[in-house]
Amino acid sequence: MPEEKEHGEFRKVDRKRGNESGFAFFRLVLRLMGMRHARNIAGIICFYYLLFDWRAVKKTLPYVKHAWPDAGFFSKLLKVYKLFYYQACMLLDRASNLCGLSGFDHFYINYDSFRELAEDSEEGVLLVGAHFGNWQLAVEGLKDIKCKVNIVMHEEQNEAVKKHLELNSRTSNINYIFTEGEMHGAFEIATALCNGEIVCMMGDRHYGADTIGVEFMGETAYFPYSSFVIAAQTGSPIISLFICKDWETERYYAYGSEPMRPVKQRKVPIEEWVKPWVEQYVKKLEEMAKKYPEQCFLFSDIWRKDS
C-alpha cells in the first residue's frame, strides 16, 4: 500500500480516508450549518480514528512523547486526539476559504523580505516549510504573489483529494512538482529556481531522501537536506515559513525567517557543510513547536533514521 501523502491528516494508509462524498459532505455542512457545527462533526470523526485507527495513532505518538515527555498514557492519547482535531479544524478553515465562505485575518512576520525577493528580484526563492499549522492555507496565500509558485510534493493517488486540491489548475499561478522518479524532481526544482520562481518544499519529512541527524526536542532526529544543497547549487536564498493559529482570536500568524544563503564548500563532505544550515531550520521548527505544540503535525517517527 502507498505511504501516507502530504495533504490532509486523514489520508490513505491502508485505505482511503478522504473521498469525494466526504469532501462534499463537509462543504455542505459549512454552507448550511456553519463552521461550529462542522468542527463538532469533525471532532466525532477524530474520536473514531483515535479509537479504531491505531496505525494513525502510532504514527503520531513519537512526536507526542517528545513534546510531552512527562505525560501519562491517557494524557498522551488526549494529545493525539487534539492533534487530529486541530488539523481537521484547519482543513475546514481551508475548505471554507476555498468555498468563499470566509476569509481569515493574517499577521505576517518577516514577510516583506520574502515578498521583495519574490517579486522585485530575479532570484528564485526556496520556501522550506513543515507539517505545521495550516500550511494548506498558506498555499492559498501564495496565489497573490506576482510570480510562479512551485509546490514540491508526493503525487496524490487519491482522485478525490486531487480534485479537492485543484492540482496544477490552469487558472492559478501554483504549479505542483511531484517527487516520484529517480531524481525526485530535482531537475524541475533547479530549473524553476534558475527561472526566478518560488519553490516550496517540506523540510521535516524525508520520504526516502537522504537525511542528516540534528538535535530536535532533546534527541537526534533525521531531517532531509536536499533543499539546502539545491539552494547552494543554484545560488538561491532559503526562507523557512510556518503558519499557525491563535484559537482565541481565530487569527493566523505567518512566521518567516531571514533569508539563508547556503554555500557549498569544496572538498568538504556534504553532511558537514550542510549541517549548520539544517540546524538553523530545525531550531526554528523547535521554537515554533514549543510555542504551539498542538499545531505541529509530525506524524512520522523522525527520530528513527529508517522511518
Distances in whole angstroms, Cα of residue 55 to Cα of each of 41, 44, 146: 22, 18, 42
- What letters, b where the CB count within 10 A reaches 16 and e where it falls short, cover 128-153? bbbbbbbbbbbbbbbeebeebbbbbb
Percentage of residues of the chain with pLDDT beyond 70:
84
- pLDDT of residue 110 exceeding 90, the answer is no
Residues 6+ apart with CB under 8 A from 162: 156
Give the Å distances, CA to CA, from 203 to 46, 107, 140, 227, 253: 26, 23, 19, 8, 19
Can you point out the beta strands (E) in 248-307?
251-256
Confidence at 5, pLDDT banded by 50, 70, 90 = very low
Given a cut of 80, whether residue 275 has pLDDT beyond it is yes
Locate 2 and state its grid cell. Answer: 502507498
Reply yes or no on whether the pLDDT at 157 is more than 50.
Answer: no
pLDDT, residue 164, reads 52
Say if residues 186 and 230 touch (Cβ distance below 8 Å).
yes
Among the residue ranges 27-31, 86-90, 151-155, 295-299, the one predicted with the least confidence is: 151-155
pLDDT value at position 155? 59
Q: Are residues 100 and 246 in contact, defined by beta-carbon separation less than 8 angstroms?
A: no
Which has the higher per-residue pLDDT, 137 or 69? Answer: 69
Rounded CA separation 56/143 (Å)? 32
pLDDT tens-place string over residues 178-233: 877 666 678 899 999 999 999 999 999 887 788 999 999 999 999 999 999 999 99
Show the cell assigned to 169: 489548475
Q: What pLDDT, on the 0 to 100 scale, is given for residue 7?
A: 40
Report which of residues 261 and 147 the model is more confident about. Answer: 261
* Non-local CB neighbours of 266 within 8 Å, separated by 6+ positions: none
Min mean pLDDT across 1-15, 85-99, 244-258, 292-306 is at 1-15
Average pLDDT over residues 250-267: 89
- The overall average pLDDT reported for the chain is 84
Q: How many residues does the chain have?
A: 307
Could you tell me the three cell numbers for 258?
Answer: 531571514
pLDDT at 237 over 90: yes
The pTM (predicted TM-score) of the whole model is 0.85
Mean pLDDT of 152-168: 55
Distant-in-sequence contacts of 111-120, Cβ < 8 A, 24+ apart: 111/254, 111/256, 113/239, 113/256, 113/258, 113/259, 114/239, 114/241, 114/256, 114/259, 115/145, 117/237, 117/239, 117/259, 118/145, 118/146, 118/147, 118/198, 119/145, 119/146, 119/147
